[in-house]
A and B are shown apart, each in its own frame.
Chain A
Amino acid sequence: MERPLTKNIHAGRQPLSLKEYVSTGGYSSMQQVLKKFTPHEVQQLVQKSNLKGRGGAGFNTGMKWSFVPMGEDCPRPKYLIANADEMEPGTFKDRLLLEGNPHQLIEGMIIAAYAIQANISYIFLRWAYKKAAAILERSIQEAYEAGWLGQHIMGTGFSLDMHLHTGAGRYMCGEETALLNALEGKRATPRAKPPFPQVSGLFGKPTIVNNVETLCCVPHIIANGAEWFQGLSYSGDAGTKIYGVSGKVNNPGAWELPMGVTMRELIEEHAGGMKKGYRLKGVLPGGASTDFLTEQHMDIKMDFKSVAAAGSRLGTGTMVVMDDATCPVGFLHNLQHFFAQESCGWCTPCREGLPWVEKLLLAIEAGMGKQEDVDMLQMHTQWLQPGNTFCALAPGAMEPLQSALKYFREDFDRHIREKKCPY
């Protein structure tokens, strides 16, 4: 089983220096691209590989790149941004890549930048990733020194600058248009789409925002081809995926596995199954803003299509396991508190709706809920849907809630009936 993204990442070891990275074959894809590929060819190859964005939405990466205006008279400068904001609760996969193999990301970024002919790139890193910040700072420096970044890379006409930008908190910064505002030194409220960032992004110029994991796949696709990448997977969605499991399992962690492994394999084999005395009650398959799956879904493949068919989303692929000793209402309250706090305050349904949801859940959890409160929760899940809100934050928040009301309704009712938390 191939693990292209993580084969050189070893727990407890320093990340690869530039020299070490090169010795494992690093930066050869980049050289190949700059010497032999046209930007269009890179876009096509990546599109053909069927690499889908690992940031949550799962959009075909090469296709996304192809929306960027190209040619002599296109607006300039163009920007490439690596989204390393990773703030979705339950998610810890990008950290692994950032701390473990920074040059892989940098190489991916150079290739992506070349593909869209961007000359300026940023890594938008969340504030809390202090270690990653230091590593990236050093690695970018190394890349400049090696001439992989800067003016006229390898004597070609292509130039690329790369900057590390660390955030100042706020989950919203991960949403790509809010991220752009944050980079511009503004409040991280999202922007209307259209216009899409590919056309009018950072400082009004064409911009691509990609997730860290997405970008890390790129050098390998160049090196080994589209068919190889598709072959890595167990399913229709190509490549490997970094999956993670947290919660009361024996061996929480993150592993690179073929796209499409089953949830059962992940939880039972890689995560070592539930801790003694606990039973699995529900799973958020891809972060806090995905619908619950339950035991009945243990055998679904963890790829975009299959998880969607089961009524949830693959999201970030890092799952949170809820055990039978954890109160689902409390669990939901924790999630909704997070979302309400992290709402940017721009649009009405999210800004006003989420705090209401949070308060309802708190009341129910504390045994002060009424039957109508559940209807009220239901009402919110009905209205806080994509298109009704300005961005995807509030709809994301509704995913665990709507599925909890479906699967754990009895828990809500019991709280109300017994006027206390039964857990």
Chain B
Amino acid sequence: MPTIFIDNLPYEVKEGKNLLETCLSLGFDLPYFCWHPAMGSVGACRQCAVKIFKDENDSTGRIMMSCMEAVKEGLRLSIADPTARAFRKQNIEWLMTNHPHDCPVCDEGGSCHLQDMTVMTGHDYRRYTFKKRTHVNQYLGPLLNHEMNRCIQCYRCVRFYREYAGGTDLNVFGAHHHVYFGREKDGVLESPFSGNLAEVCPTGVFTDKTLKQHYTRKWDLTSAPSICQHCSMGCNIIAGERYGKLRCIVNRYNSDVNGYFICDKGRYGYEFVNSVSRIAEPLIRNQPVEAVNETALMRHLEGLVTQFPLVGIGSPRASMESNFALMELVGKENFFQGTNDDQAYLERRMVEMLQQDGLPGVSLKAIENADAVLILGEDIWNTAPMMALAVRQSVMKTAADQAVQQSSLANWHDAAIKELVQDKKGFLANITVADAPLNKLATISAQDCPDNIARLGFAIAQVLHPVLPPVSGIPENDLQKIQLIATALQKAERPVIITGSSSCSETVIKAAYNIVQSLRATGKDAGISFVFPECNSMGLALMNVPSLENALERIRTNSDCTVIVLENDIFRHIVPEKADMFLSRCKHLVVMDSLHNRTTEKAHVLIPSATFAEADGTLVNNEGRAQHYYQVYMPFNPHIKESWKWLDKIKKLKTPSAGRSALHPDECLAELESVLPQFENITGVMPSHQFRINGQSIPREPHRYSGRTAMRAHIAVSEAKPLQDGDSPLTYTMEGYPGIPPESLTPFFWSPGWNSGQAVNKYQQETGGALRNENPGVMLFKHNKDHIGKFITDYPDPFTPIPGKYLLLPQHQLFGSEEMSAYSETLSELIPDMVIALSGNDAKTLGVTDGAMIAIEKNEFSYPLPLKIRNDLKSGIVLVPAGYQAMPYFPWGSWVKLRV
């Protein structure tokens, strides 16, 4: 570790870093704009100037940009040097010459990096007396507001949007002091990562348009650490509330998971929480007054749960606590997964591979650092956007690493590296059912039917590990592809294979398994990542309980029972006839959920559940990482409660002797751990609810939280007692522990002088590294390095179309397919049309053209949709958007007929 001198004091620092990140990591305040920890240095803004001295005898020194200079043994620099400080102050003054002084009406005010840096440098009085340049703003779609006059030309937006996230429709235009950042003309930004611009931009050019509708300053938000609910990646988020409404979602840094960014589904999906179709009160249907209070509800439920056998239906989007509480209530033998047979089976297989066969599941961070990626059968751009972003980083970083090795450049020297890299890319093979957005990055891409994808995968494994039986009948033109992929994986040091359940095929998953095992057998540190459909699919699958169909069977044999459905619209998991049959047969149907849906409509008793924002809960993400989300605010309506709390109350009706007064989430997890050993250590996701620092709780509100006494003034002048949170160490006030809280309990990033999210650098061990002690979350799988499971040799036969029939497969859409985010009014604008896709050949055989109405039929199931011909599809496949709100569950993965 080299020693450098900062203002004459020695510091041992890490090699290979630039001086700016080094100083920030050491805790110094040094202003910057164009540098970003995830994007490296370009030296444009000139804000990070320091003095650098040749040696200890040099007292003159030179002003240099700290972000462009490497750490070197013995290097001497000064941050406090008067000239350096004066220059930094001057630089801000330049930036501010054209900046509108509109902080009071700017959405960024109070969480603005530019404000922070301006104060930090000491620039206060304006000396520029001339006219400012002004710009016309653009319409950029429903997600982001554009106010170009606030731009300070740090070029971060284009660097993030284009280079980091691969978008092509945002750019810089013009020259000199007229440079303009936007689209070539008004229009919706195309990248599903565009929302990050609100955080990447150091000032208020790009701001969250949904926040604008119910604007609240950062300092007036009540926030809590939370977990994104909209896919299985488990991105860490911060959710903020005011006046009983969820106001915004921002990224919560976790270097193992989402790093500095989240996708637009995660940022904007939250609107469902504020939806008008929230279930607000308990209902007991078919009585004169359906809405009841809690006492009436409990009285009614008492009969239902004590006099009838119970059946519980779990949910892949409900927390561990809630699923487990339901299981505890109904008994393990009466608890069923809320997913259908096929899906449950696939998920089970994936879990087994990680749990028993020792496959090393990897994090998003590890995917970023992979040096070759193979994706089998999963369109991750649409099913796991942040994973797609991670794959993009892998592809770019691999090429950059090669360039760096051949030169003496440091890896943070962004522009210079891009110049060396040119168009070169790291290895990515993307083998999917249909053309996928990630193909633009891929070295090799192909589209085929799941069985053929699997065969390709098995063949790759066979090349890697020749003792495996060969896959016969591989088409000539696939052989080369197989060879190329195998060679690339073999050559790589950290290859990663990605697959998932969305191609509805076990064989694909098995093929991925074989490839990873083959690589491991030859001593490679290969990793795998499985994509699951929902935020807690993994957690539910880990519980290892029978599928929904088994519950159907149970009801068929004995319908005289009380069925409790937990946060689950079962119409999304089984075809309507079956769902209808199931729901109509239940003698008593108790449904708990937060929003009305097809299942809640049928409920005899409806119980309002809290959403993630109003609840404590734990989710297990696709890698088996358990993570806890905390209640952001008490439900606006006292009838709304966390499902697990309701279930605990109901349980007391059944066994009044249980004797516990109230259940807390940590206790709930402790019980889960003791009952289901596969959840060992899950209690580590959160400190005990009694945890305090110096006797103090952790405030959810920043200490400048304003107007608390005024908020209720129209109701009562005396201030209400702050709400109490008995479930966690967090508190609903601004009073409490003033320092940096433990990682898993961080409700917002703030540090003196750092009001914007950039304050995160004060929470990290080093910039871009793990959070101070460690990243929050608990890994439930321990991967056994030495154990290599058995190989699979039952290869599928080549796909052969059945005349007159088509294999029905889901097309997942980033916006539209996931249940809860589809309730976000804003995102609903971005949902692509419903179409049925067929290959050109099949369309010809059927004698139809684009736009023709075609019905998908199977047994009694029939559903018409307009046709879209897609030549990337193999004949014999029909592709339909999955999970759209109004659409029924389709029998995915089965053969269907088409009626023109």
Task: Determine, out of B134-142, B169-177, B685-693, the stretch whose residues face the partner at the interface.
Answer: B169-177
Inter-chain CA distance A346–B415, complex, in Å, is 13
Q: Is A157 an interface position by the 8 A CB rule?
A: no
Asked if A191 and B176 sit within 8 Å, CB to CB, the answer is no
Q: How far is the CA of A363 from the CA of B129 in the complex (A)?
A: 11
Cβ of B130 within 8 Å of any chain A Cβ, yes or no, is yes
- Residues facing A in B174-204 (CB within 8 A) are 174-179
The CA of A191 and the CA of B46, in the complex, are separated in Å by: 14
CB-CB under 8 A for A390 and B407, given A200-B419, A203-B422, A351-B177: no
- CB-defined contacts of B177 to chain A, threshold 8 Å: 340, 343, 345, 351-352, 354-355
Instruction: Report B-chain residues with C-beta under 8 Å of the C-beta of A4.
Output: none
Complex Cα distance, B155 from A227, in Å, reads: 50
On chain A, the residues within 8 Å of B42 by CB distance are 192
A353 and B127 alpha carbons, distance in the complex (Å): 12
How many residues of chain A have a CB within 8 Å of chain B? 37
Which chain B residue has the least Cβ–Cβ distance from A342?
Answer: B176
Determine if B109 is an interface residue (Cβ-Cβ < 8 Å).
Answer: no
B419 → chain A, closest Cβ, in Å?
5
The minimal Cβ–Cβ distance linking A28 to chain B, given in whole angstroms, is 38
A209-256 residues with Cβ-Cβ distance < 8 A to B are: none
**What's the minimum C-beta distance from B114 to chain A, rounded to whole angstroms?**
12
Query: Which B residues are in CB contact (< 8 Å) with A344?
Result: 175-176
Interface centre among A199, A349, A354, A363, by most chain B C-beta atoms within 10 angstroms, is: A349
B63: A residues at CB distance < 8 A: 387-388
Tell me, yes or no, whether A22 is within 8 Å of chain B by CB: no
Residue among B45, B94, B130, B416 having the largest count of chain A Cβ atoms under 10 Å: B94
Chain B CB within 8 A of A279 CB:
no
Closest Cβ of chain B to A36, distance in Å, is: 34
Q: Is A138 among interface residues, defined by CB-CB distance under 8 A?
A: no
Give chain A nearest CB distance to B404 CB in angstroms. 11
Instruction: Find residues 175-204 in chain A having any chain B CB closer than 8 Å to their own CB.
Output: 187, 191-192, 194-195, 199-200, 203-204
- In the complex, what's the smallest C-beta–C-beta distance from A114 to chain B, in angstroms? 25
- For the A-B complex, the count of residue pairs with Cβ-Cβ distances under 8 Å equals 105
- Cβ of A383 within 8 Å of any chain B Cβ, yes or no, is yes
Bound-state CA distance A170–B406 (Å) is 33
Instruction: Report whether A390 and B172 are in contact in the complex, using a CB–CB cutoff of 8 Å.
Output: no
User: Counting CB contacts under 8 A, is B115 at the interface?
Assistant: no
The answer to whether B94 touches A187 (Cβ under 8 A) is: no
Given contacts A348-B95, A351-B176, contact A195 B407 (CB under 8 A): yes
The residue in chain A whose Cβ has the minimal distance to the Cβ of B171 is: A187
Q: How far is the CB of A334 from chain B (nearest CB, A)?
A: 16
Q: Closest chain B residue to A390 by CB distance? A: B43
Say yes or no: B416 contacts A192, CB within 8 Å.
yes
**CB atoms of A348 and B416 under 8 A apart:** no
Q: Is the CB of B419 within 8 A of A204?
A: yes
Interface residues of B in 3-62 (CB under 8 A from A): 42-47, 49, 62
**Interface check A356, CB cutoff 8 A:** yes
Does A379 lie at the interface of the complex (its beta carbon under 8 Å from any beta carbon of B)? yes
Hey, which chain A residues are within 8 Å of B176, CB to CB? 340-345, 351, 354-355
Report yes or no: A348 in contact with B175, Cβ–Cβ below 8 A.
Answer: no
Q: CB within 8 Å of A: which of B140-158? A: 152-153, 155
Task: Decide if A134 is an interface residue (CB 8 Å cutoff).
Answer: no
Known A-B contacts A351-B176, A355-B177, A356-B97; the reply to A200 vs B153 at CB < 8 A is no
User: Chain B, 389-425, contact with A by CB distance < 8 Å: what is the 0/1 string?
Assistant: 0000000000000010011110001011001111000
Chain A positions within 8 Å of B416 at CB level? 191-192, 194-195, 200
**Pair A192/B420 contact, Cβ less than 8 Å:** no
* Closest chain A residue, CB of each to CB of B33: A348
Whether the pair A351, B43 counts as a contact (CB closer than 8 A) is no
| CB nearest neighbor in B for A388 | B63
Interface 1/0s, chain B 61-86, versus A by CB < 8 A?
Answer: 01110001000000000000000000
Interface size class of B (residues with CB under 8 A): 35 or more
Q: With the chains together, A347 CA to B408 CA distance in Å?
A: 25
Look across to chain A and name the residue whose beta carbon is closest to the beta carbon of B42. Answer: A192
Partner pick for B179 among A351, A372, A390, CB 8 A cutoff: A351
Whether B44 and A390, one on each chain, are in contact in the complex, defined by CB atoms closer than 8 angstroms, is yes
Contacting pair B415 A349 (CB below 8 A): no
Identify which of residues 387-406 in chain A touch chain B, using a CB-to-CB cut-off of 8 Å. 387-390
Out of B47, B97, B178, B407, name the residue touching A345 (CB < 8 Å). Answer: B178
A308 close to chain B: CB less than 8 A: no
CB-contact partner of A348 in B64, B94, B421, under 8 A: B94
Q: Assess whether B91 is interfacial by the CB under 8 Å rule.
A: yes
- Chain A residues near B172 (CB, 8 Å)? 187
CB distance A379 to B68 under 8 Å? no
Pair B175/A345 contact, Cβ less than 8 Å:
yes
- Are A191 and B174 in touch, CB under 8 angstroms? no
B97 near A347: Cβ-Cβ < 8 Å: no
- From the candidates B130, B403, B419, name the one contacting A191 in the complex (CB within 8 A): B419
- Whether the pair B153, A199 counts as a contact (CB closer than 8 A) is no
The reply to whether the CB of A376 lies closer than 8 angstroms to some CB of chain B is yes
Give chain B residues whose Cβ lies under 8 Å from the Cβ of A389.
Answer: 46
The answer for the CA separation of A191 and B416 in the assembled complex, in Å, is 7
Evaluate whether A192 and B413 lie within 8 angstroms (CB atoms) in the complex, with A352-B95, A356-B128 already known: yes
Q: A192-B68, A340-B176 are in contact. Are A352 and B94 (CB under 8 A)?
A: yes
Are A351 and B153 within 8 A (Cβ)?
Answer: yes
Query: In whole angstroms, how far apart are the Cα atoms of A186 and B702 in the complex?
Result: 45
Roughly how many angstroms separate A195 CA and B43 CA in the complex, as a whole number? Answer: 13
Q: Is A359 an interface residue (CB 8 A)?
A: yes
Give the residues in chain B near A383, CB-CB below 8 Å.
87, 90
Quick check: B179 and A345 within 8 Å, CB to CB?
yes
The smallest C-beta distance from B445 to any residue of chain A, in angstroms, reads 26
What residue of chain A has the Cβ atom nearest to residue B64's Cβ?
A387
Partner of A387, one of B62, B408, B413: B62
Closest approach, in angstroms, between the C-beta of B691 and any C-beta of chain A? 46
In the assembled complex, how far is the CB of residue A305 from the closest CB belonging to chain B, in whole angstroms? 23
Q: How far is the CB of B850 from chain A (nearest CB, A)?
A: 36
CB atoms of B90 and A379 under 8 A apart: yes
The smallest C-beta distance from B168 to any residue of chain A, in angstroms, reads 15
Rounded to whole angstroms, the CA-CA distance of A388 and B87 in the bound complex is: 8
B765 within 8 A of A: no
Contacts of B422 in A (CB 8 A): 203-204
Is A353 a contact partner of B46 (Cβ separation < 8 A)? Answer: no
**A199-B407, A352-B97, A359-B130 known; A191+B421 contact, CB < 8 A:** no
Report chain B residues within 8 Å CB of A192. 42-43, 68, 413, 415-416
Name the B residues within 8 Å of A203 (CB-CB): 422
Would you give the shortest CB distance from B27 to chain A, in whole angstroms?
A: 26
A87–B174 Cα gap in the complex (Å)? 19
CB distance from B254 to the nearest CB of A (A): 31
- Chain A CB within 8 A of B559 CB: no
Assembly CA distance A390 to B415 (angstroms): 13
Roughly how many angstroms separate A353 CA and B97 CA in the complex, as a whole number?
9
Contacting residues, chain B, for A352 (C-beta < 8 A): 94-95, 97-98, 177
Assembly CA distance A379 to B422 (angstroms): 40
Distance, CA A194 to CA B420, complexed state (A): 13
Smallest beta-carbon distance B893→chain A, Å: 47
A78 to chain B, nearest CB (A): 14
Which residues on the A side are within 8 Å of B68 (C-beta)?
192
Task: Point out which of B62, B63, B98, B175 has the most chain A C-beta atoms below 10 A from its C-beta.
Answer: B175
Residues in B with CB closer than 8 Å to A200 are: 407, 409, 416, 419-420
* Closest chain B residue to A199, Cβ basis: B407
Interface code B782-826, partner A: CB below 8 Å = 1, 0 otherwise? 000000000000000000000000000000000000000000000
Q: Which of B287-308 contact A (CB under 8 A)?
A: none
**Complex: A346 Cα to B90 Cα, angstroms:** 17
Which 10 residue pairs of A and B lie closest in terms of their CB atoms, listed nearest first?
Answer: A352-B94, A345-B179, A204-B420, A343-B176, A359-B130, A204-B419, A348-B46, A345-B176, A355-B177, A345-B175
Beyond A191-B416, A356-B94, A383-B90, 6 additional contacts (C-beta under 8 Å) are A195-B409, A347-B44, A349-B90, A355-B97, A356-B128, A388-B87
Q: Name 11 A/B residue pairs within 8 A (Cβ), A-sorted.
A: A191-B415, A192-B42, A194-B416, A200-B419, A204-B419, A348-B46, A348-B94, A348-B95, A348-B153, A359-B130, A388-B87
